Structure 1
């Protein structure tokens, strides 16, 4: 297991990581997805020197009510197809959660229904309130993301109402 910042990875390692994520996502990992996975930390799981699992933690700010949380947003969670079912995804997510708990006020991620049970087993809570994206100071609903955002409280989270509106900043591609 290795946890590193983007700038600690060589050009060759970044190319290997991009190729790994392309394969892990059945070649549906686009350029926007790649950009969302950069700018923070990478948890890299290897077996015999070969990359088998990955999760990125990217700094973002999420808002709910009057609260703004310094958030570690998890992106690009992937496991090499021939290594699925061996606990590698769980291992990198537990390491990512440890990083979130010591570094951020809140952890967050977006996941489709096929992955909900996985994240819930790891202690993530589904945000049941409405979701929004802030664009040029205006909040716009992201109904397609309702129920798909998960949060991981950290020691710095404090009280929160997971039925309240949750807002992220705009970014190209998927907001969440």
Structure 2
């Protein structure tokens, strides 16, 4: 039986400035300097799952934020997973699974479904946890209307929230607009 502590769950407003700085440092390092200010902004304003070492330094992190998604004639509340990372010296210890389990609980209790955009390195984790590649089209609702996102197809994963079905892939998922990467 795993007796290691569960991830700390905290809304962005509950994190201190030092904690936020340390999380950003973890993400910058874990993504080899390829974690932009927009990526950071996308990870804020929601619920964070955080595991720290004995010195209170983050070793694993992920967050889930609300995104509005238009599908057919309905607007959904999607729990969008962002900024999942594990410090290099703690990879392959199951920490990514523990962070994802905590975030999936948030999705199950607060959202219509979960969604995320997976890197090549992260795709295996999400697939192993039952996340599925969205088989339909994707778009963002831009200021001038829908913007197709064919380059995101095949890397965007979805997961039904507990007891709720996923939208049917016959219509595109149209995500709310944001700066930087749209998904």
* Residue pair 1:128, 1:163 contacting (<8 A) in 2 also: no
Aligned residues: 176
SS in 2 for 1:132: strand
SS in 2 for 1:44: strand
Structure 1: 5+ residue stretches without partners:
none
> 1:22 Cα shift?
0.8
Q: Among 113, 118, 132, which residue is 2:125 paired with?
A: 118
* Residue pair 1:54, 1:77 contacting (<8 A) in 2 also: yes
SS in 2 for 1:20: helix
Give me the whole-angstrom Cα distance separating, in 2, the residues matched to 1:155 and 1:28: 33
Structure 2 residue aligned with 1:19: 25
SS in 2 for 1:128: coil
SS in 1 for 2:92: coil
Structure 2: 5+ residue stretches without partners:
1-6
Give me the whole-angstrom Cα distance separating, in 2, the residues matched to 1:108 and 1:152: 6
Structure 2 residue aligned with 1:101: 108
Q: Among 3, 9, 12, which residue is 2:15 paired with?
A: 9
Please, what is the CA RMSD of the aligned residues?
Answer: 1.5
Give me the whole-angstrom Cα distance separating, in 2, the residues matched to 1:173 and 1:157: 30
TM-score relative to the length of structure 2: 0.90
Give me the whole-angstrom Cα distance separating, in 1, the residues matched to 2:166 and 2:14: 35
TM-score relative to the length of structure 1: 0.93
* Residue pair 1:127, 1:163 contacting (<8 A) in 2 also: no
Runs of at least 4 residues of structure 1 off by over 2 A?
46-50, 112-117, 155-160
Structure 1 residue aligned with 2:168: 161
